[in-house]
Structure 1
């Protein structure tokens, strides 16, 4: 078998060009946004950590404002073992004795220096070549004692009291990367051992960060069948916290932080794997991402419609049908097709809807479906609910094995093009759908590969 190296190389180049072109909207969307990225001590020890640093440098070069928060649990435990110091745990929290404090500070300081060294690399033929990154750390976190809980004195274990957000913003404005560790300082000059997850969460909330990213051992959250959940709502996290509370306390801490941040103004929280090379880039610059995103989604859940929603659908669709934007659907037809519809409901009002219709295809045709009847309540059209319900049906289509989607529209083609669809022709439709095409409406055809 003869392989044409030139053709193979060209094919790989085209794949790269295709990806790079499609990453442009994400590059524009993320520029000048503030991301807080938290990784624990296990991530620092992993072989992939150098790649993570390279990707962080790339994010910085694209104009993203970065705060890095690192943990140090295994490094602290190793230092304590070397120094023959034992620190008890209570409720999965280390009790920090004065004897152990030097070991803790040495571990935290060592990691900070390691991060600064990696971000200072500039060797030729390396991803860091030409990068000039200023890294800043300092006494940005004020802490207070965790105190006595259940009769147990946690001594120098603390919790976050305040953050100097003004100072952090100044450094971010100066294009510096800010690095925070799991330590904080009191007004009396004491050092407290903190949870890195708490530092990351409260930093993201205080800074009103656009994203909080946890790099942990796992790719994200999975359902009972082991399938990765691409997106979940804050109230859905409780079941996972309960599940991991005993078997994986660190993971439970990530989830508690994710929920708290989501409910306090951080609209996107991401759970990624530190061992997966390119997880940050894939999550931030591709449509499907690599892990799980937790989003408040305006505290509304997209769901499949039921028969009780027919009245609300009619109220939403009739004005658009009367304008000729949508094809008229009778109540009887809506009742018969209700299982094809997804809706966003709030306080008993249908705010958005869309329908997914599988298209019968022949053996030689790509398995396809049509998304139709996309509608958003007039009072909410400047929100992202249209995109939200569209992405929900795209995920449902993929789970059904559908490989491409079509839409037919007379007024909103540009919006669908913004959602990743491409212009197509009537001839591109599967034969079964071509036969039903209404030439009198002369609808524009768009398609999207899944």
Structure 2
């Protein structure tokens, strides 16, 4: 490669990585808009969760076909991208296959990369067929129309193109390694168990044309990786990066255990303090009173916002939700997608107003998520159990319900009747304690 090519490569690399870093900074800023919560307890259990669930894909394989295919794609991308390091070094310094000094081990590496690339290509094609030909139901829910539907396909096309470019690049390289010494730049290095079957396509072509194809595939492959990297921020595939912190900071409490709201606890303590003056002016008159529950993304905690960005939109939560299965409007996946969309809207508001949020008259409640959706939830935790990266849509639903009940007194009539019965009769049923056992005499 010429010096000009090296400089061009360095510029592309700096721009690509720089834009990605800028978006990561924005992502962290948005997540920090959430309320503080302590998730530093039991670090050994948290590391174990991250190793088993994010790295080991233990929850993915509960659905064996999709789980196995996902593991192929996951392993393929993680291991094949080791070669990106070699490509970067070659691009910056004008070398070619700089790691060939590893000898036999290098052959094993390249051979493994090729087999994995082929398996990734097969798996991605199967994923595309499942989504677009077989049309598995969970991929065709109402919330998956428009960009979410296209986004899933864009990623599949990206992966197909990247793997194809990788194999074409290697096939051309293999061809050039086995022709007379006038193409001395292409040293014999690597093992090519897949691309050697593609290489005969180049027989009869001029050396210059094959070099052009090899270089073109090389440039398109690395540029494609940088484009893919920067597309992650706008895509559901952000979970590639966020699955690790998300599983680490997941709630370790038993499913179904509710937390006490600190704001409610403080109110109760104040009411029970005989020396407290309920009419006293607040110590800080500028302080915003604590809100019971959540009506917008800033009221949620930062782990819940991390959950929203981590959502893979796989639909396992929705496909196992009893409310959704019986025709209710609730979709746990939509809850996470709406939270992320509103958070992005808030982030853009902050960017447009010099780093400060200006009230836009909108909120997560009502503008994105309706009370009908929230009250359809049975709190069974099926969505939490099914999520392959330990997301909890239920925690967001419960916090928004709390807001409806404690801030707006907007509980459904059925719930108010039940509460009245508990208050008056000591049970959810509309019978006095004296009449409760009358059924046995009938």
TM-score of the superposition, structure 2-length normalised? 0.29
Bigger relative contact order (CA 8 A; separation at least 6): 2
TM-score of the superposition, structure 1-length normalised? 0.28
Higher-Rg member (1/2):
2
Q: Normalized per residue, which structure has more helix?
A: 2
